[in-house]
Amino acid sequence: MLAFAVKRLGLAVLVALTVSLITFSMIYVSGDPAIAIAGEGARAQDIEAIRQFYGFDRPILVQFFDWLAGAMRGDFGRSYTLRQPVADVIFERLPVTMILGASAIAFALLLAIPLGVWAAVRPNSMIDRLALTIAVVGQAMPTFWFALTLVLWLGVNWRLLPITGSASWQNFVMPAVALGYYVTPAVMRLTRAGVLEVLSADYIRTARAKGLRPGTVLFKHALRNAIIPVVSLAAVQFGFMLGGSIVIETIFQINGLGYLAWESIQRKDLPTMQAIVLVLSVIYVLLTLAADLLNAFLDPRLRVT
Amino acid sequence: MSARVLTVEELNVALPVPAGRLHAVQGVSFHVDRGETLCVVGESGCGKSLTALAIMDLLPANAERRAARLELEGENLLRLGERAMSDIRGNRMAMIFQEPMTSLNPAYSIGDQLQEALRRHKAVSRSEARTRAVELLERVGITAAARRLKQYPHQLSGGLRQRVMIAMALMCQPALILADEPTTALDVTIQAQILHLIARLQREFNMGLVLITHDLGVVARIATRVAVMYAGEVVETGSASQLFSGPRHPYTRGLIACIPVPGRTRRGAPLGTIPGLVPSLVGHIEGCHFTRRCPHATDACRTGAVPLDTVVDGHHVRCLRHRELATGAAPPPPVAVA
Amino acid sequence: MAETSLPRADLPTLPEILAPSPAALLRRRIFRHWGLLVGGSILTAILAMALLAPLLAPFDPFDQQLDRKLIPPIWHSSIKATWAHPLGTDQLGRDYLSRLLYGAQISLLIGVSAMLISGVIGTTLGVLAGYFGGRVDMLVGFIVTTRLSMPVVLVALAVVALVGSSLTVVIWVLGLLIWDRFAVVMRSATQQVRAREFITAAEALGASTSRILFTEVAPNVVNHLIVVATLEMAHAILLEAALSFLGLGVQPPTPSWGLMISEAKGLMFFDPWLIAIPGIALFLLVLAINMLGDALRDVTAPENRN
């Protein structure tokens, strides 16, 4: 088990390094970053001054390792626009996004898993068709449009929930729903498929033959095995949500990482952009690692690798 | 002492299929007493597994089960709802399946699965259940039983898993065990061991045992009585000695003749077969199911129902011509020549 | 051993045993038909809208008529509503129906192009990984994991912000980012085909790898490819809409549906149709593509159904 975890951790580090390299080289996609910062119509000596100030005149690899060394220390440099160390801003805003992501995935799972289980236990029934309809509709609606519609109805017309800010838990309800429902169809389908498949397994027949009650058969025996792929999917989706929260955060004006990313992109605040991408990637990698470990816990057969 | 454990009378199982209704089990009747082993023999698809599942009421949801009588120790099972049936399953009547590799839940230890079988039906503490699990594992021949409790199914070999399945079936000391081809999926060397084990346990616990198999060798070893099934029907039933010394049904005779006998079967001679295919059981079937493959079939055989006829007490045959065929006027058993 | 006269059995034929009843056949056809029919017809309608936009649109989508701002659609009770502008006008007096029709072009163009680019990248990676296995597989797996751990929307936004937003940039950025599902699915599909005997037979015959890939592997994985292609096309369309909504996709005054929603969001409390109409259009387009994809999968590889 330990060897397994260590090996996966090593892979995670490698991925994070590669992502950071790619992120770093993003600056150079646009051509000379010094020009981008200086803006149009800047004088040559101003551009040169900027270049020297930010160290763009050094070889690329040197810049990369310098940045990386700093990143590992937790120092992402200073924001071009916010007059703060990037690290401070990021870790100030990160918890908000994590809360949003966590509530969104919680909403998605609380809706999708029971629905998927129910649909699997009663295939081709009304509930199955309902679940399928929810899945189909959920996958087709653009997130931002759904969010706007929620704002219009729940926020304005019926005045049930606040529409901006991140002051209290009510502020997170609509954003969580808008962000989470997009994941619901995939989780629901996977749960349904998994439970259907598991229910026809031999060991379920054995469980019934032992006289176990239907609830025990379903929840103790079937679900435990069926949930395994769902765990991986949920972890991956959580990771995507953290990255995709940008749309929701801008609509609801929630001061999270996504909103910060939005601002820094608009202002071409490169260090912040790079740092955010790196932080999100590391979190994603850690999430998949956690999912793998959880899987190994759930399925004893996986513990050998 | 022979208390009747299981009575099955006129059991029918039908499955809806795209082409109509498949009558998988038709008019099957047999009984089992304590201490007795009834072997249900037949080729794949003859309905023997479905018969066992029907007795346990574990048929697929869309299957239809009908029977004149279905009694466990005199109690009518036909009237019992799912709740009452689940109280009986694993408790007074247990089943062992064919595939030990997939019949245990990979997510839980075998100790957990053994103990839950007991604690579902009897009010015992965890440690009592644990003790009993260890005891039964030892009785099925598993060494270091206490350590094994914590192991997971994937850590055990097929033979060991089947022993665990047997132990699991015995946790509540049932009166009846239904074993559906318990050795088919195992190595030949292990097969004999498991059979031996099952026979011994049956004696020790004085249970009724219904053993389903397609292997006449198994039948010869372990059966008290035999029921031969073909295409959903019981075609012959009797004690093991009655069947092997004087089989009456052409199908039974064909089966027995197919077994190569050391000393009698010539080296290099082709092995016996019964040519033809099992008939489709969809929809209504006229006459005897074996007519297409029977060398002695007459027109009378093809029309009208063929009831079970008595040869002697305890030996029954479903064949219109069994008397004349037995009196030696019949040609030798059907063995195809290549 | 005596010969026996055995009845040559009237063997039941396989079709007899397996034939589904006419009712079941019909049911199956209808069910498949339904998803295919509905999805296909919606998609065809939108395609027609896009292709025939120049003919169908009553106005030029860029034509601002400031004296005709914010006319509500025809089903509104307001007196301003007129059949001249059945879907109303936006805040710059542009006819909404015309913008909707031309918007279809943008969505479909981006959807198809991004899907093609990502399809080529992902399929190549996936098939190579699935066919060769070993180190190639590990490398591709690493690349896919790296791609997956990058937040797509952020990276797309960042690139567009740095390089500049135009239709071409958006298409390429999307195409270079959403190939992961192609890679994963095609890899597993190729692995399954690889293990089958006819591949070994072809190798034994001395066929070159590229020949095997094109003549043996390709036909057997094409059905998976089509299903993923439809999913990713829908994905690309939604992503472009999101990017345009955030202002870093297609630029005004181009009538992208996402952009239309973005431009109207300040007004949505008073003139909600401005966001409802393009939103519903997006929804229907993506819905149709998804239904089509599902139907295709049901027809070609029903074992993958969930």
pLDDT tens, C112-128?
A: 999 999 999 999 999 99
What is the mean pLDDT of the segment spanning A60-81? 76
Q: Judge whether B88 is closer than 8 Å to chain A, CB to CB.
A: yes
CA dist B72 and B87 (Å) reads 13
Q: Judge whether B173 is closer than 8 Å to chain A, CB to CB.
A: no
Res B263: pLDDT: 74
What is the mean pLDDT of the segment spanning A45-69? 76
**% of chain A residues with pLDDT over 90:** 16
Which two three-digit tokens encode residue C181?
A: 């599902």
**% of chain A residues with pLDDT over 70:** 93
CA dist C263 and C91 (Å) reads 9
Res A29: pLDDT: 63
β-bridge mates for residue B37, sequence order: B209
Which two three-digit tokens encode residue C123?
A: 């399929």
Closest CA to C37 of C302, C291, C306, C301: C291
Res C109: pLDDT: 93
Q: Which residue of A has its CA nearest to B54?
A: A209
Which residues from chain B sit within 8 angstroms of residue A210, using beta carbons?
89-90, 94, 116-117, 120, 168
Which residues from chain A sit within 8 angstroms of residue B150, using beta carbons?
none
A22 vs B94, higher pLDDT: B94
Res B156: pLDDT: 92
CA dist C275 and A145 (Å) reads 8
Would you place residue C197 in the very low, low, confident or very high pLDDT band (cuts 50, 70, 90)?
confident
Which residues from chain A sit within 8 angstroms of residue C290, using beta carbons?
136, 139-140
Nearest to B103 among A202, A224, A299 (CB): A202
Q: Chain B: nearest CA to A11, how far in angstroms?
A: 27
Which residues from chain A sit within 8 angstroms of residue B99, using beta carbons?
202
Q: Which of B280, B286, B299 has the most C C-beta neighbours within 10 Å, making it the best mutation to test the interface with C?
A: B280
B337 and C4: CB-CB below 8 Å?
A: yes
Contact B190, B135 (CB under 8 A): no
For chain C, give the mean pLDDT: 82
Q: Which residue of C has its CA nearest to B331?
A: C4
Q: Sheet with B225-230: list strands edge to edge.
A: B93-96, B176-180, B208-213, B37-41, B225-230, B233-239, B315-317, B309-312
Res C209: pLDDT: 78
Q: Which residue has the tokens 């937003």?
A: C165
> pLDDT tens digits for chain B (338 residues)?
458 999 999 999 999 988 888 999 999 999 999 999 999 998 888 889 999 999 999 998 889 999 999 999 989 999 898 899 999 999 999 999 998 889 999 999 999 999 999 999 999 999 999 999 999 999 998 989 999 999 999 999 988 999 999 999 999 999 999 999 998 888 888 888 899 999 999 999 999 999 999 888 889 888 999 999 998 999 999 999 988 888 888 888 888 888 777 777 777 777 777 877 778 888 878 888 888 888 888 888 888 788 888 888 889 998 888 888 776 544 554 444 43
pLDDT tens, C12-23?
A: 555 555 655 666
Res C5: pLDDT: 37
Residue A90's identity, in one-letter code, is I
pLDDT tens, A87-115?
A: 888 888 889 999 999 999 999 999 999 99
What is the mean pLDDT of the segment spanning A222-240? 87
Q: Is the pLDDT reported for residue A282 higher than 60?
A: yes
For chain A, give the mean pLDDT: 83
Nearest to B279 among C12, C18, C24 (CB): C12
Res A272: pLDDT: 83
Its ipTM equals: 0.85
CA dist A238 and A106 (Å) reads 10
Q: Which of B105, B118, B173 has the most A C-beta neighbours within 10 Å, making it the best mutation to test the interface with A?
A: B105
C247 vs C199, higher pLDDT: C247
Q: Residue A230 — φ and ψ, nearest 5°?
A: -70, -35
Nearest to A15 among C145, C245, C272 (CB): C145
Closest CA to A109 of A7, A179, A9, A17: A179
Q: Which of C3, C4, C26, C29 has the most B C-beta neighbours within 10 Å, making it the best mutation to test the interface with B?
A: C4
CA dist A184 and A134 (Å) reads 9
β-bridge mates for residue C242, sequence order: none
> Which residues of chain C are at the B interface, by a Cβ-Cβ cutoff of 8 Å?
1-7, 9-12, 16-21, 24
User: Which chains have 3+ CB pairs within 8 A of C?
Assistant: A, B
B154 and A224: CB-CB below 8 Å?
A: no
Q: Judge whether B129 is closer than 8 Å to chain A, CB to CB.
A: no
Q: Which residue of C has its CA nearest to A272?
A: C158
* Residue B130 neighbours by CB under 8 Å, 6+ apart: B111, B115, B149
Q: Is the pLDDT reported for residue C30 higher than 60?
A: no
Nearest to B107 among A210, A214, A225 (CB): A225
Nearest to B97 among A202, A213, A299 (CB): A202
pLDDT tens, C228-280?
A: 899 899 999 999 998 888 888 888 888 889 898 988 888 888 888 888 899 99
Q: Which residue of B has its CA nearest to A228?
A: B107
Q: Chain C: nearest CA to A209, how far in angstroms?
A: 27
* Interface contacts (A, C; CB < 8 Å): 137
Q: How many helices (H) and strands (E) does chain B have?
A: 12, 13
Q: Is the pLDDT reported for residue A293 higher than 90?
A: no
Which residues from chain A sit within 8 angstroms of residue B108, using beta carbons?
221, 224
Would you place residue C1 in the very low, low, confident or very high pLDDT band (cuts 50, 70, 90)?
very low
Q: Which residue of C has its CA nearest to A283?
A: C149
Which residues from chain B sit within 8 angstroms of residue A208, using beta carbons?
58, 86, 89
Nearest to C24 among B18, B282, B332 (CB): B18
C275 and A145: CB-CB below 8 Å?
A: yes
Q: Which residue of B has its CA nearest to A222?
A: B105
Would you place residue A275 in the very low, low, confident or very high pLDDT band (cuts 50, 70, 90)?
confident
A6 vs A83, higher pLDDT: A6
β-bridge mates for residue B4, sequence order: B33
Q: Chain A: nearest CA to B61, how far in angstroms?
A: 11
What is the mean pLDDT of the segment spanning C160-171? 84
What is the mean pLDDT of the segment spanning A131-138? 87
Would you place residue A305 in the very low, low, confident or very high pLDDT band (cuts 50, 70, 90)?
very low
Q: Which residue of B has its CA nearest to C24?
A: B18
Q: Judge whether B253 is closer than 8 Å to chain A, CB to CB.
A: no
What is the mean pLDDT of the segment spanning C85-109? 87
CA dist B18 and C22 (Å) reads 9
